[in-house]
Amino acid sequence: MKGWTKMISERRRVISTFALVAAVSMLTASVGVAQTSGSGENSVRGYEYEGPYVQFGVSVGQIDFDRRFGGRNADNNASGGFTMTGGYRFLPWISGEFNFTYMGGGNVEVGSQKVGDGSFFAFTFGPKIYPLGAFPVEAIPEIIQPYALIQIGGGEFEIDHTNFDESAFVARFILGMDIWATDNVGFFVEGGGHASSESDVDGVGIFTVGAQYRF
């Protein structure tokens, strides 16, 4: 029991450290970009850009299994994963995206007994809305672009070493922010989750930081 407790504590400490480093890195990047955005060099088109882009992010989160084993609820720990996205900016305030998300490695426990590792992946697509592209706010520079997205698609939830393996319709809800360092290279930070249509899984909560490139 002490071994499990120690492992869980170490996992949570690693995740907390990752989140702190990611937040500091994003803040440093945004401050540096804000300091240089006023110069004429390496000007960024901001909301004027239209065209394709790609993203890659590193994620932490939790898969919320609602499955019962032997009459007892499963309890799962935090997981790590990644996201890959391809999109196209049609107008200053809207783009369309295809997203792949994977998360795994979180212990699933019933009481104090580990039953397996949980994993999840999903393909989703839908619109990405930039409200300040439609209603500009002069106090926020265009290199910093808040957004919201709603996507739908399909996913799969699994607990290895068990017979639990279910496909589901999923809806992805995200709030985030793009930060452009140059006209082509930027960063993003976002949080939200995937809601599941299956009763054995409530969904997935996720926090992601990453890099992006627009062509």
In a domain, 118, yes or no: yes
Parent domain of 157? 2-37+49-214
- Residue pair 60/96 in contact (Cβ under 8 Å)? The answer is no
- Residue 166 corresponds to which amino acid? E
In a domain, 80, yes or no: yes
Cα separation, 133 vs 177, whole angstroms: 13
* Number of other CB atoms surrounding residue 164 within 10 Å: 19
pLDDT at 163 over 90: no
Cα separation, 159 vs 206, whole angstroms: 18
Mean pLDDT of 38-50: 73
- Residue pair 208/189 in contact (Cβ under 8 Å)? The answer is yes
Phi/psi region, residue 138 (left: phi>0; alpha: psi -120 to 50; beta: rest), is alpha
In a domain, 53, yes or no: yes
- Residue pair 96/85 in contact (Cβ under 8 Å)? The answer is no
pLDDT at site 112: 73
Mean pLDDT of 36-56: 77
In a domain, 58, yes or no: yes
Domain with 128 in it: what CATH number?
Answer: 2.40.160.20
Question: Dihedral (C-alpha) 139, 142, 61, 194: value to the nearest 10 degrees?
Answer: 100
In a domain, 140, yes or no: yes
Tens digit of pLDDT for each residue in 181-196? Answer: 999 999 999 999 999 9
pLDDT at site 37: 44
- Residue 205 corresponds to which amino acid? G
Cα separation, 10 vs 16, whole angstroms: 10
Cα separation, 209 vs 187, whole angstroms: 8
Q: Give the model's confidence band at 6: pLDDT under 50 very low, under 70 low, under 90 confident, else very high.
A: very low
In this structure, of 4-8, 18-22, 118-122, the range with the lowest mean pLDDT score is 4-8
Please count the structural domains in the chain.
Answer: 1
Mean pLDDT estimate for the chain: 82
In a domain, 141, yes or no: yes
Cα separation, 212 vs 13, whole angstroms: 28
